[in-house]
Amino acid sequence: MSTMQSLRTVREAEPAERIGRPWAGLAALTAGAWLVPVAAYLLHVAVLLPLVILFATASLVRGGRTLLDRLMITLGLLFGLTCAGGLVLSYWPFGLHPVAVAGTCLTALIAAAAVSGRRPNLPRPALSDLVPLLGGAAVGAVLFYPLVRDGEVRRLATATWGEDFARHANLYNAIDITGGYLFTRWDAAAQQVYEGMILYPQGSHFLDALLDNFLRSDTTATVGMATINHFWAFTVGWYALFVLIASWSAQWIGASSLTLGRRLALTAFIVAMSTTTDLMEAFITGHTSEVAGLCLILLLVAVLARPTQRTGQQLLLVGSLLVALGFTYYLFLPAAGLATAFWLVRARRRIRRRPMTLLVVGLCTAVLAPLPTVLGLLVAKQGAALGLGGGVMPSIDVGIALFAVVAGGLIASRGWRSPVWQMFALCVASVGVLSIGLFTTHAVQPDDNLGGGAYYATKTLHLLVVLLIVGCGVATRVLARPAAGRRRQPFRQGLPGTIAGAGAAVAVLAAVGLVAGDSPVVTRGNSTYIRAWVHSDGRRDQVAKDILHGVGTDPADRAVPTYFMDEEPYRGYLLTVFGSTLAGTAGQTAFGLYGRHDFTSQAQAEAMIRGTTGRIRLVTTSTSMEEPAAQLKAEYPDRDIVVVHKRW
């Protein structure tokens, strides 16, 4: 009897022991979530922590047949959560410190796993995962090569292809200095950037600044050419990621008709179009926010056309991508919102099963996604910029050709019957509506001060071209549908098709001059964008030398607002924009830069002097400007004006 009682006592005690063990494990995991970032930071390998967070999150996410599928879904989720979490990071006392950020993220993942009951699980990588990865890596390597090959002078000269590069680099650096979104700390931000940039969408710049701290295992902001060098690295990274996401999106949407060979040909086509068309202009001019916006909307279109299986996760993913798009490049947000509305209507029966998830995610998205737009339009009055002229108009012939391929593929393969391609067509139509609206706005309120065109409306055409490029995968539906075994074991059952696909990939690359480089296809002057980039055509070496010499190396001189005086007003403006970014004085020179930087005009020169407080340096880069500089110094004897003449 006593034996039976003792057995009952043991059995009754077992559940209590089982309850206690998970809490002990959670405590150990939580401790590790902080010890690992601390060790990585002290060992200067904090750059590995974002990868740890990515894979750890992917292990808790569900959906995707291959490892790359899972990582792309997770990437979209993390982007939105990071943009939203940036509001918290902007106010908490730790700023963008890698240990605090990584420790908090890993702790949150442990809590999410404990609450959901999910165990870490990752799908196996597939051979098909290598195709988009190789495409993105190849483009990244080619774009990075000239930056590594050339010295700092030519690296800076290449950056001066577009003045916007300096502003975006300055914005990223200012976020690193202030430790958060600039609109959350206005006074500090105004010392670093032009006030018009404080409410500019900062999602990609915030992510750059955050990752930069992990990259360097340091929280001290970069200065001088280090800022330009690091921003170049992020610019290349964003464009390589864009090619990767475009290739993956095309494969995710058209998965049912793709073999390994067809994936090779499709990725080669995307690489060719990404490096030889006007899309490269966004990279060359440093428009990382536009490139990041393209990445986000491609991910959104992919998961709207072919949703993940779990409804709650799908809602959270779509909401995260909308928030990220709102914080990064809200010009595309109306089209994304319209496409999402179409998906919600089509998936209404499925969504009704998760009313609370829909309510919570919907409310958070409705508040966060339009926040930068509301601030920009109501506070900064950015709506007036919609009528600006300028911009690079994409090739109409290319657009017509792409549309013909997509439309022909949909009709010939009866793809219009597929729910996946129906939703894709609705996404393209949503972008078309936005584009028509912006071109109409420009026609009603023209402002051609920048040289004609419709600057922001052309951006929507870039997006339309990108979606059509991805949609060209529908053409593979015309071919025989591959058996499941061929998709899973291409080398055993589909080797001939793989060889044919590889040959088609080489043919596509050769047709646009990416093999021997002597193709008749010309998209930039007498060259292609990628050839001009690799050979550094159009460099402004003398501009870069003037900037570096004019700013100087003395920290005392760099702290003084410096204006470059050149007989060509735009050249003086360009020199001053980049010089201010290198010196960290963009906030102080903003008054003289925007709307007044023309030293050939006496009235503007005097207005610039009066509008800039404290000491001023005037650097003359034209002999004809030496006398006007001396006159300005003489007219304002009460101001501490230092004049430096070009002697290099």
User: Do 609 and 521 share a structural domain?
Assistant: no
Better-predicted residue by pLDDT, 444 or 529 = 529
Q: 330 lies in a domain?
A: no
Q: Is residue 502 part of a domain?
A: yes
**Bridge-based pairing state of the strands 616-620 and 562-565:** parallel
What is the per-residue pLDDT for 112? 94
- Look at residue 24 in the predicted model and tell me its pLDDT: 84
Tens-place pLDDT, residues 135-170: 999 999 999 999 999 888 989 999 998 889 999 999
> What is the C-alpha to C-alpha distance for residues 483 and 389, in angstroms, rounded to an integer?
51
The pLDDT score that the predictor gives to residue 603 is 85
Same domain for 568 and 528: no
Residue pLDDT, tens place only, 57-73 = 999 999 999 999 999 99
If asked whether residues 555 and 618 sit together in one domain, one would say: yes
Tell me how far apart the alpha carbons of residues 342 and 429 are, in angstroms, rounded to a whole number. 11
The pLDDT confidence band at residue 453, using thresholds 50, 70 and 90, is low
pLDDT digit string, tens, across residues 70-107? 999 999 999 999 999 999 999 999 999 999 999 999 99
The residue among 258, 300, 251, 310 whose CA lies nearest residue 76 is: 300
Q: How far apart are CA 34 and CA 488, in angstroms?
A: 40
Residues 591 and 482 in one domain: no
> Quick one: 185 and 280 in the same domain?
yes
Q: Which one of 518, 534, 550 terminates a domain?
A: 534
Please, which pLDDT band fits residue 9 given cuts at 50, 70 and 90?
Answer: very low
DSSP for residue 90? T
Q: Please tell me whether residues 547 and 530 are part of one structural domain.
A: no
Do 456 and 494 share a domain, yes or no?
A: yes
- pLDDT of 11 reads 41
Taking the chain, what is the end-to-end CA distance rounded to the nearest angstrom? 103
Residue type at 576? T
The DSSP secondary-structure symbol of 447 reads B
Per-residue pLDDT tens over the stretch 338-366: 999 999 999 999 999 999 999 999 999 99
Q: Is residue 212 situated within a structural domain?
A: yes
pLDDT above 90 for 195: no
Where does 306-418 have alpha helices with state H?
311-328, 333-346, 348-351, 355-368, 371-374, 396-412
What pLDDT is recorded for position 448?
47
Run of H or E including 563: strand 562-565
Same structural domain for residues 571 and 514?
Answer: no
Count how many domains the chain has. Answer: 3
Strand stretches in 261-325, DSSP E:
none
- 32 and 158 both lie in a single domain: no
Looking at residue 223, what is its pLDDT? 92
In a domain, 383, yes or no: no
pLDDT 10s digits, 323-342: 999 999 999 999 999 999 99
What are the backbone dihedrals phi and psi of residue 184, each rounded to the nearest 5 degrees, phi first? -90, -5
Listed residues 478, 503, 534: the one ending a domain: 534
Provide DSSP, 195-206.
GGGTTS--HHHH
The helix (run of H) or strand (run of E) holding residue 153 is helix 152-159
107 and 131 share one domain:
no
Share of the chain above pLDDT 70, in %: 88
- In this prediction the pTM is 0.91
pLDDT digits (tens, 9 = 90+) for 12-22: 443 443 344 57
State the Cα–Cα distance between residues 338 and 605, nearest whole angstrom: 48
Confidence class of residue 516 from pLDDT cuts 50, 70 and 90? low
Of the candidates 82, 29, 27, 34, the residue with the CA atom closest to the CA atom of residue 54 = 82
pLDDT value for 16? 40
Whether 70 is in a domain gets the answer: yes
Q: How confident is the model at residue 3 (pLDDT cuts 50, 70, 90)?
A: very low
3-state secondary structure (DSSP) of residue 279: coil
- Residue 6 binned pLDDT confidence (cut-offs 50, 70, 90): very low
The string of pLDDT tens digits covering residues 462-504 is 999 999 999 998 888 877 676 655 445 545 556 766 777 777 7
CA atoms of 571 and 544, how far apart (whole Å): 11
DSSP, collapsed to helix, strand or coil, labels residue 146 as helix
As a whole number of angstroms, the distance between CA 56 and CA 52 comes to: 6
Looking at 57, 89, 116, which one is the last position of a domain? 116
Q: What is the pLDDT of residue 446?
A: 53
Using an 8 Å Cβ cutoff, are 551 and 579 in contact? yes
449 band by pLDDT with thresholds 50, 70 and 90: very low
Mean pLDDT, rounded, for 114-119: 90
pLDDT in tens, 245-287: 999 999 999 887 888 889 999 999 999 999 988 899 889 888 9
Say whether both 40 and 145 belong to one domain: no
Residue 498 structure tokens: 């793989």
Q: What pLDDT is attached to residue 327?
A: 98
What's the half-sphere exposure (Cβ side, CA atoms, 13 Å) at 323? Answer: 26
Question: Dihedral angle at the C-alpha atoms of 330, 253, 51, 218, nearest 10 degrees?
Answer: -20
On average, the pLDDT of the chain sits at 88
Q: Is 47 part of a structural domain of the chain?
A: yes
Question: What range defines the domain where residue 79 resides?
Answer: 23-116
Identify whether 317 is part of a domain.
no
- Is-contact 513 519, C-beta < 8 A? yes
In a domain, 80, yes or no: yes
**Does residue 504 or residue 602 have the better pLDDT?**
602
In whole angstroms, how far apart are CA 45 and each of 48, 49, 98, 207, 390?
Answer: 6, 8, 11, 18, 44
Residues 641 and 597 placed together within one structural domain of the fold: yes
pLDDT at 488: 53
Contact 575, 160 (CB under 8 A): no
